Amino acid sequence: MDIKPDIPTELVRQRIERLQKVMQSESMDAFILTQNIDIYYFSGSMQNGFLFIPCIGEATFYVRRSIQRAKLETPVQVAELGAFRQFGQTLRTDYPSLGREGAKLRIAADLDVLPAQIYLKLSELLSSARLCELVDGSAHIRKLRMIKAAWEIGRIESAARVVAEALEESLNELKEGISELAWMARVEYELRVRGHIGMMRLRGYNQEITTGMVISGAAAAVPTYFDGPAGGLGLGAASPQSVSRSTIHRDVPILIDIGCCIDGYVIDQTRTAVIGELPEALMRAYEVSESIIVAAESQMIPGAICTKIYEDALQQCAAAQLSDHFMGYGADQAKFLGHGIGLEIDEWPVLAKGFNMPLEEGMVIAVEPKFTFPGQGVVGIENSYLITEHGARALTFTKTGLIVLP
């Protein structure tokens, strides 16, 4: 079977060069990438192994399985990992400059996602091979990945088109009496037949999500472990979020927070629907959510500070006397307005307090002002935007506005 690389060879080369420049400026001698998404980003392959990138010279993808598949997918040189206990010595042999006597070496790794057991073993192997201990390079990886190339933006836009088409088709089946689970299954079918890979990857430890959340009425306001404004009953304690087997009723908010992943890249969007009419208080909160996202869109220009955009949203909530309901309720409020998206759904930057990073061209951010009302439900909206030199450009294709069904 013909297997072709996903990521253009030139883009892989550019990414590695950007990381090498960071290493040189930060006095790092090399980088070991261990997580699937990081390996894929810098190699174009997601096989089992470690990607080793020196600060100068050629990278090597040390693969446990499948070497054959990796060679077909990546332009980076591929080598067999072999016995893991020999990995330190392998690096010393393949990169002799790392073993110079008396050299003070710093090898970075994606420690924010590296399991402790593998970290301890890698540290031991590198020390025994007279290399060094690992240092945390996670922030550098996340900063590099914030800026999307045109090729990446094209994948995110493709995912956005799929979501728009799938939602439009699925709304024909959204009727009173259908269960959340049954309607979500219809949404997922429409997404899958259009190319959705069936998962939405997150970087956060123990954070999981499938295609998203479809939750109606009071169930949406039931809190859960997921770091977001809506929970959902889910299908039990083993899956305590999103859809349940509850049926959808009239005159209650239906939160449709769904995404799609095409060629590894995700889109994230939310729309609120109702069969009939929303209660007055929830309708007013929904209108405030729309005003917040419009204001954020106008602010998202290169140089704007993430924290400032979040704080302005908090002020709008306070003016509308909705602060207690913004992005959750009580102790379960989420402390952000938006988040970066790309290969993962929880990328940088984050529109949140303390994130004093300026926006840059090429960032892609999902903005999601939502309001949670215990016993009633959740309302809100979410669009994804590309930061351009002229400001924010919506990547979301689904039209805005409350979806009112008869």
Residue 378 domain-assigned (yes or no): yes
Instruction: Calculate mean pLDDT across residues 335-341.
Output: 98
* Domain identity same for 231 and 323: yes
What is the pLDDT, as a whole number, of residue 226? Answer: 86
For 28, the 3-state DSSP assignment is: coil
Asked, for residue 38, whether it belongs to a domain, the answer is: yes
Query: What CATH number is attached to the domain comprising 95?
Result: 3.40.350.10
Cα separation of the two ends of the chain: 49
β-pair partners for 364:
386
Would 4 be classed as within a structural domain? no
Q: Looking at the domain assignment, is residue 286 inside a domain?
A: yes
In a shared domain, residues 110 and 202: no
Which of 84, 114, 144 represents a domain boundary (last residue)?
A: 144
Does 1 map to a domain? Answer: no
Does residue 266 surpass a pLDDT of 80?
yes
How far apart (Å, rounded) are the C-alpha atoms in residues 72 and 68?
7
The verdict on 224 and 272 lying in the same domain is: yes
Structure tokens at 293: 């996202």
Q: State the pLDDT at residue 104.
A: 67
Do 117 and 211 sit in the same domain of this protein? no
Task: Output 229 or 98, whichever has higher pLDDT.
Answer: 229
Residue 389 falls inside a structural domain: yes
**Domain containing 31: what range?**
9-144
Residue 136 resides in a domain? yes
3-state secondary structure of 250: coil
Instruction: Residue 165: give its domain's CATH number.
Output: 3.90.230.10
pLDDT single digits (tens) 165-178:
999 999 999 999 99
Examine the domain organization and report whether 26 and 164 are in the same domain.
no
Are 283 and 378 part of one and the same domain?
yes
Nearest to 157 by CA among 394, 365, 388: 394
Of the pLDDT bands very low, low, confident and very high (cuts 50, 70, 90), residue 92 is confident
Tens of pLDDT, residues 183-228: 999 999 999 999 999 999 999 999 888 888 999 999 999 988 888 8
Whether residues 162 and 264 fall in one domain: yes
Q: Are residues 94 and 175 in the same domain?
A: no
Q: What is the mean pLDDT of residues 289-314?
A: 98
Which of 115, 144, 173 is at the close of a domain? 144
226, 311: one domain: yes
Calculate what percentage of the chain has a pLDDT beyond 90. 86
Confidence of residue 39 (pLDDT cuts 50, 70, 90): very high
State the pLDDT at residue 1. 59
192-230 burial, b if ≥16 CB within 10 A, otherwise e? Answer: eebebbeebbbbeeeeebbbbbbbbbbbbbbbbebebbb
Domain shared by 253 and 364, yes or no: yes
If one counts the domains in the chain, the total is: 2
Work out the percent of the chain whose per-residue pLDDT is above 70. 97
Whether residues 175 and 114 fall in one domain: no
| pLDDT averaged over every residue in the chain | 94
In a domain, 216, yes or no: yes
What's the pLDDT at 194? 97
Choose the final residue of a domain: 110, 144, 178.
Answer: 144
Which positions ≥6 away from 128 have C-beta within 8 Å? Answer: 88
- Pair (394, 298) in one structural domain: yes
**pLDDT above 60: residue 100:** no
